[in-house]
Amino acid sequence: MWKIAGGWAKSGPGRLALVSCLVGTLAWGTLAGAQQRIVIRVDGKVVEHKTLRRSLGEALAEAGVKVGPRDLVSPDPATPVKRGLKVTVHRAVPVRVLADGQTRVVLTPPAPVVSILKMANITLGQQDRVSLPLDFTVRQGTVIRVTRIVEKILREKYTLPAAVERRADPALERGRVRLVSPGRAGEGERIVRVTFADGREIKRTVLQERVLRPAQNRIVACGTLGTVARGGSVMRFQRVLEAHATAYSPRTGRYTATGHPVGYGVAAVDPRVIPLGTRLYVEGYGFARALDVGSAIKGNRIDLFFESEEECRRWGRRLVKVYILE
């Protein structure tokens, strides 16, 4: 007979069923008590899982958490399972690294920039620049740019331009110039430190400089003579210029572009050079006044009126001095 609570039970099939029930209950209680509860943080979720597995890696597999070869599990998957263990799975993300004209993609869990550069086999020089702090932790979409900085010491020659020296010449009409000396450019040499960023010059510092051959000034005489005597008369003028002079006759019309009747002493000019209404003295022609314009009269050109075609032919085209009178 078997003793149970409240009395004795007889042997037989009933007794076997009771024993099986008791054993199952005890076994389930033992297993339930042996299970360890762990907390898993993965893919933005927090999952609680009970397990009898011994290692964390086995428990994660049992919980259906797939861990990629570049994913980071904290603590390590080999860690023994214990009650209340907190686990974080950091998924690997692609990070772009731009350096040396190339783009490298590194698949990595969150890690500092310095570690990413090491994974990409990029060695930094002392002056190289990185777009992010080396201790910055990368994340999805992070782009790291490495700029190579190189300094070179260069020796270079350069031209020293000749300055223009102007000298007053009272024997030369006002407005005219005469070259006295053409001058000569000089030559210098300097030593410079040039900084390049990815092959592009960004800074230049002169370390040493010297003159190899000094420049010689270009000397120009500038006329200051403001009067000229012609035909017993002394004329005061503002300036003088050389112009190509041609002739025109009455067949072109009886009035100028300004509405003035044509006649000897009327000159057609480029108003940008000689303003309309200006009094002139033209060498070989005499006194004239700028009262007309012409489509072909551009720059230092002037057209002089003559009364006949014969006079126009005799004049032809010639280079003359034109005095701009006061």
**Domain ranges in the chain?**
2-34, 36-90, 93-147, 152-221, 226-325
Mean per-residue pLDDT, 220-229: 83
Q: Which residue has the higher pLDDT, 55 or 22?
A: 55
Q: What pLDDT does 14 receive?
A: 53
Q: What pLDDT does 13 receive?
A: 56
Q: Hey, which CATH number is domain 226-325, 3.40.50.10070, 3.40.50.880, 2.40.40.10, 3.40.47.10?
A: 2.40.40.10
Topology adopted by domain 36-90: Ubiquitin-like (UB roll) (3.10.20)
Q: What pLDDT does 84 receive?
A: 82
Instruction: Decide if pLDDT at 108 tops 50.
Output: yes
Average pLDDT over all residues of the chain? 85
Q: How confident is the model at residue 177 (pLDDT cuts 50, 70, 90)?
A: confident
Instruction: Decide if pLDDT at 231 tops 70.
Output: no
- Measured distance CA(96)–CA(100) in Å, rounded: 13
Q: What pLDDT does 22 receive?
A: 47
Task: Report residue 96 as tokens.
Answer: 């772009």
For domain 152-221, which architecture applies?
A: Single Sheet (2.20)
Tell me which residue of 222, 217, 221 sits closest to 182, measured CA to CA: 217
Mean per-residue pLDDT, 136-163: 95
Q: Are strands 279-282 and 266-268 parallel, antiparallel or unpaired?
A: unpaired
Say what percent of the chain tops pLDDT 70.
89
Q: What pLDDT does 2 receive?
A: 42
Q: What pLDDT does 105 receive?
A: 92
Q: What pLDDT does 184 receive?
A: 96
Q: Quick one: CA dihedral 311, 317, 321, 322, positive or negative?
A: positive
Instruction: Decide if pLDDT at 179 tops 60.
Output: yes
Rg of the Cα atoms in the chain:
51
What digits encode the pLDDT tens for the residues 31-69?
444 688 888 888 878 888 888 888 888 888 887 888 878
